[in-house]
């Protein structure tokens, strides 16, 4: 009996979302260009160094977007922001959002999307680093940002898969350094979390619980690693004659 793999299902859903975006954008690019753009996005989002920032993440955001699009002023902008916000993902770079915005600009121009829409999409991508306050952003941008971190407010098991994916993407970072820096990131997220009523009602409670629990786990992992290093340093410092 023929069965469709989960990856195939994700790809199928992604294609449906993509064609919906193109149709609603109102432009009429050549079919080959539409397909090429989509294929390039899929290639980017399935790069081997990714575990969380993947096509699954994009489709998940787009699925949730469909539930809230009626509340948005410009649903198309949010759709575009979702599609391109993680297209460039290099864990060694601090410029992923800017690079993704530039990539989006070039691709959307080719597709004949309006300049105003492109600029809005690029702005959303640039603020998706979650490093600046979204207090004065538009409702559309706030909802886009809330959807981007919706995973924080999912079930504990889903949250752990997310954290495991992030650790894989930063596997080159030593455990002690990773735990210390990851705690900083999660604490920063804890301080602002969700801006929209939808985000607060849908994710806030679970996110607060998950973040608190994960930070405690990371602190414990740091403690174990420090204990190991101290023990190791003691062992190697003992003279052989002893």
Residues 178 and 239 in one domain: yes
Residues 95 and 207 in one domain: no
Residues 143 and 107 in one domain: yes
Residue 64: partners with Cβ closer than 8 Å, 6 or more residues away = 147, 150
What's the token pair of residue 109? 């121009």
Distances in whole angstroms, Cα of residue 142 to Cα of each of 116, 148, 239: 18, 10, 60
How far apart are alpha carbons 32 and 14 in whole angstroms?
Answer: 17
Task: Show which of 123, 148, 173 is a domain's final residue.
Answer: 148
Domain count, the chain: 2
pLDDT at 27: 83
Q: Which of 2, 96, 1, 119 is nearest to 44 (CA)?
A: 96
In the chain, DSSP assigns E strands to none
How far apart are alpha carbons 121 and 144 in whole angstroms?
Answer: 10
pLDDT at 229: 60
Residues 126 and 212 in one domain: no
pTM: 0.90
Q: 114: number of CA atoms within 13 Å, CB side? A: 9
Per-residue pLDDT in tens (0 to 9) along the chain, 242 residues: 445 578 899 999 999 999 999 999 988 889 999 999 999 999 999 999 999 999 999 999 999 999 999 999 999 999 999 999 999 999 999 999 999 999 999 999 999 999 999 999 999 999 999 887 777 899 999 999 999 999 999 999 999 999 999 999 999 999 999 999 999 999 999 887 899 999 999 999 999 999 999 999 999 999 877 776 665 554 333 333 22
- Determine contact, residues 100/58, Cβ cutoff 8 Å: no
Residues 113 and 225 in one domain: no
Secondary structure class of 53 (helix, strand, coil): coil
* Tally of residues, the chain: 242
Query: Can you give the CATH number for the domain in which 40 is found?
Result: 1.10.3210
Residues 115 and 225 in one domain: no
Residues 105 and 135 in one domain: yes
pLDDT at 135: 75
Task: Show which of 125, 148, 171 is a domain's final residue.
Answer: 148
Task: Show which of 106, 123, 148 is a domain's final residue.
Answer: 148
How far apart are alpha carbons 126 and 102 in whole angstroms?
Answer: 10
pLDDT at 22: 96
* Domain around 216: 150-242
Residues 62 and 130 in one domain: yes
Residues 194 and 242 in one domain: yes
Residues 81 and 195 in one domain: no
Secondary structure class of 183 (helix, strand, coil): helix
What is the b/e burial string over 98-134, where b = at least 16 CB atoms within 10 angstroms of the residue's CB? eebbbbbbebbeebebeeebbebbbbbbbbbebeeeb
Residues 112 and 164 in one domain: no
Residues 179 and 118 in one domain: no
């Amino acid at each position: 009996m023929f069965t469709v793999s989960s990856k195939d299902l994700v790809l199928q859903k992604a294609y449906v979302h993509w064609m919906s975006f193109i149709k609603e954008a109102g432009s009429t690019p050549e079919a080959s260009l539409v397909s090429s753009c989509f294929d390039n996005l899929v290639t980017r989002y399935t790069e081997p160094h990714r575990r969380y920032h993947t096509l699954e993440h994009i489709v998940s955001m787009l699925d949730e977007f469909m539930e809230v699009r009626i509340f948005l002023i410009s649903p198309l902008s949010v759709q575009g922001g979702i599609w391109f916000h993680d297209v460039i993902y290099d864990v060694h770079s601090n410029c992923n959002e800017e690079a993704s915005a530039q990539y989006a600009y070039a691709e959307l121009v080719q597709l004949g999307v309006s300049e105003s829409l492109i600029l809005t999409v690029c702005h959303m991508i640039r603020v998706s680093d979650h490093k600046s306050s979204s207090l004065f952003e538009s409702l559309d941008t706030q909802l886009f940002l809330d959807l981007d971190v919706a995973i924080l407010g999912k079930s504990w098991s889903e949250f752990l898969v997310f954290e495991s994916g992030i650790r894989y993407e930063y596997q080159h970072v030593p455990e002690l350094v990773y735990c210390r820096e990851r705690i900083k990131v999660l604490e920063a997220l804890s301080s602002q979390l969700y801006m929209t009523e939808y985000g607060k009602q849908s994710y806030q409670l679970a996110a607060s619980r998950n973040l608190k629990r994960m930070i405690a786990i990371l602190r414990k992992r740091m403690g174990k690693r420090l204990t190991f290093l101290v023990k190791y340093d003691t062992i190697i410092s003992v003279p052989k004659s002893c």
